[in-house]
Amino acid sequence: MAGDPRPSWKLHTTREYHLQDLTTLGWEWTVCNSLANPESLCRKVLARPDSYGNLLFDFLERFLDLSGMRRILEVGGGYGVLMQDLLGRHPGLTALCIDLSPVLLTKQQEALAGFPADFRQEDFLETLQSVLAGFDLAVLNENLGDFPVVLDVPRGIADTARQPQRKAEQVPGSDDLPERVFHLFARYGLEAPQGLSFPFNLGACEALERLCLAGVPAIFLSEHSCEACVPEELAGLIRISAPGRPERIPLKGHDEYTVKFSHLEAIARYHGYRVRRGPLADYLPVAWTDRLRAILRAPAARNDEEEVLRHFLEDLYQYEYLLLWKNR
């Protein structure tokens, strides 16, 4: 980066929280976990009341030849309930589960006892590229917001990265924070959000890049999106936040950030992947009733049940997914 000023950007990370402080996901309930119990209130509002993993498996089957798959990688698998479903639906699959949290990896080992699964406790961004070779499908479900984020990146980064002399200098895997950011903007032509500066989902972009460079032929990602949208027929019912730039999500003991999915989409397309993108409601369709619409029209929830349903239904559109695939 000869001639470039060295910005003193701040890297936000949840690493220490996941290594030392995390004890439960009980107060950080995911869409996947909200559908785990067969008696779940959230299941009852779906067009087909079923688990997250079963509904996702059926969705993936529409685009991928799952019958020919043999190895699946899951990064950040929470309590292991998603992988439980996927392996249960496809007895020919073997799994590798990677998680930074020793607590959650133990939960996954307990949930997957008796299933053909191996486990690695490590930071996925430090996993050797050789480990990633040979997988048929990689899944990162509802966890991209946990990856490192660079705060206060100046909007001019996009223009600087497009300069011809910058493009020749980019080297993936650099330990230099500004160089890592410049590499991604220069190589993939990423667009900067409006405003003088913005948070950048560095870890999420690097995680996807690693999977693409490893040649994983099918990848599924999902998380809170800063670019989410609500279909016209639900306008006024579903409330989401979509400013086009990652937003801070304050949680117990740590903060996460929503994800700019257009950046991930640009990386995937550069590497030749076909892309399907949308809200979780694409594979978790709701049976819309007058009662549900009335709950959402009300200025506030009247009881705990309505609060749960409002939160769940909004998450179906606040979250986005990317399904990426290519021919071998």
Q: Which residue segment(s) compose the domain that 168 sits in?
A: 10-325
20 within a domain of the structure (yes/no): yes
Position 298 in a domain = yes
Domain membership flag for residue 1: no
Residue range 239-275, pLDDT digits in tens: 999 999 999 998 877 889 999 999 999 999 999 999 9
Q: What is the pLDDT of residue 16?
A: 76
The whole-angstrom separation of Cα 15 and Cα 150 is: 14
Q: Is residue 5 part of a domain?
A: no
Pair type for strands 218-224 and 94-99: unpaired
Residue 3 lies in a domain: no
Residue whose structure tokens are 């220490």: 16
In this prediction, the residues of the chain whose per-residue pLDDT falls under 70 are 1-6, 21-28, 164-175, 328
- Write down the H helix ranges in 22-163: 31-34, 52-61, 81-89, 102-111, 129-132, 157-161
The pLDDT value recorded for residue 170 is: 45
Q: In this structure, which amino acid lies at residue 190?
A: L
Instruction: Report the pLDDT value the prediction gives residue 254, as an integer from 0 to 100.
Output: 81
Is beta strand 218-224 parallel, antiparallel or unpaired with respect to 319-325?
antiparallel
Element (H, E) at 177: helix 177-188
Task: Please tell me the predicted confidence (pLDDT) of residue 26.
Answer: 55
CATH number of the domain to which 148 belongs: 3.40.50.150
Q: How many domains, in total, are found in the chain?
A: 1
Q: Which of 143, 120, 144 is nearest to 130 (CA)?
A: 120
Determine what percent of the chain is predicted with pLDDT higher than 70.
Answer: 92
Is 4 inside any structural domain?
no
- Which pLDDT score is estimated for 21? 67
Give 128's DSSP letter.
-
Q: How large is the angle between the packed helices 290-297 and 304-318, nearest 10 degrees? A: 90
| pLDDT 10s digits, 141-199 | 999 999 999 999 999 988 888 776 555 444 445 568 889 999 999 999 999 999 999 99
Q: Comparing C-alpha atoms, which of 320, 315, 225 is closest to residue 31?
A: 315
Q: What is the pLDDT of residue 168?
A: 41
Q: What is the pLDDT of residue 28?
A: 54
